Amino acid sequence: VLLRHDLHTALHDDQFELYYQPIVEAASGRICGLEALIRWHHPEKGMISPGVFIPLAEQTGQIIPLGRWILRRVCQDAAAMQMTGERVVPVAVNISSLQFRRTGFLEDVQQALHASGLPPEYLELEVTESVLLDGAEQAIELIDHLKALGIKVALDDFGTGFSSLSYLRDLPIHKVKLDRAFIKDITTNRRDAAIVQGIIDMAHHLDLVVVAEGIEERAQQQDLSQRNCDLLQGFLFAKPMPRGAVMGLPDRLP
């Protein structure tokens, strides 16, 4: 209850910060994208995880102004990184399903792009299967609109929850992100490996880019690279970090 109240003032008091985690090409380690991940610096409680406060913000409706602020900030940061030549790669933002399904979302995205001057090709939205809660048609239409504007959409946390193969078939997405639950034991568990290989092959036949999340070990990188996974993300390469730290990274992460 206390946290819920604090969330209300946090936006006005500028207590949120966006961190960025590199996404690399599987074979080379070349940085080819960033995922924005929000952090809350609570004045008394210290750093609070988005895993805790995003669900709260969804309950209270705060996710709408917060989500709008995140979009604007990420576009600003991305445009600045482009302008200075720091890191000219697409930046992905996690979008809450409540935000995605709300009237005016498309306008919010366009405003954030317009205000920052970021070319739409450099913005990517990460959504989960719960965008389909009110039915697939609206979601498909919206993703088609975004696509027409040049904005890419990725299906996040794929393989867990209620994710279904029909989503891969029906949603006009360009990328799937394999949940780290399937990656964790990939080098030792044949069943996990079989599922991951199946998803990679199927996704490629559907012309989708595949990202594996939660890479913590070299053996996982080698395994997924051999399985033709396109992109990798995880602590092995880099943790989420403030924008200023992204600037100092080399082009390739070993």
Residue of 6, 124, 129, 156 interacting with ligand G (CB under 6 A) = 156
Q: In angstroms, give the least distance from the CB of 35 to Mn ion.
A: 6
- Is residue 233 within 8 A of residue 35, CB to CB? The reply is yes
- Is residue 156 within 8 A of residue 177, CB to CB? The reply is yes
And the tokens for 100? 């995605």
Q: Which residues inside 80-139 make contact with Mn ion, applying CB under 5 A?
A: 94, 126
Q: Which residues inside 140-159 make contact with Na ion, applying CB under 5 A?
A: 156-157
* 17 binds ligand G, rule: CB under 6 A: no
Cα gap 143→193, rounded to integer Å: 30
The CA-based diameter of the chain, rounded to the nearest angstrom, is 50
Q: Which residues inside 144-173 make contact with Mn ion, applying CB under 5 A?
A: 156
- Is residue 124 within 8 A of residue 92, CB to CB? The reply is yes
Cα gap 29→9, rounded to integer Å: 40
**How many residues sit in the footprint of Na ion (CB under 5 A)?**
2
Q: Which residues inside 185-244 make contact with ligand G, applying CB under 6 A?
A: 213-216, 233-235, 240
Closest-CA residue to 157 (of 191, 182, 133):
182
Quick note: the x/- pattern for ligand G over 32-71, rule CB under 6 A, is ----xxx----------xxx--x---------------x-
Residue of 23, 29, 64, 96 interacting with ligand G (CB under 6 A) = 96
The tokens 């409706």 sit on which residue?
A: 61
- 37: phi then psi, degrees, rounded to nearest 5: -135, 120
Query: Where do contacts with Na ion occur on this chain (CB under 5 A)?
Result: 156-157
Query: Where do contacts with ligand G occur on this chain (CB under 6 A)?
Result: 21, 36-38, 49-51, 54, 70, 94-96, 156-157, 180, 213-216, 233-235, 240
Query: Where do contacts with Mn ion occur on this chain (CB under 5 A)?
Result: 94, 126, 156
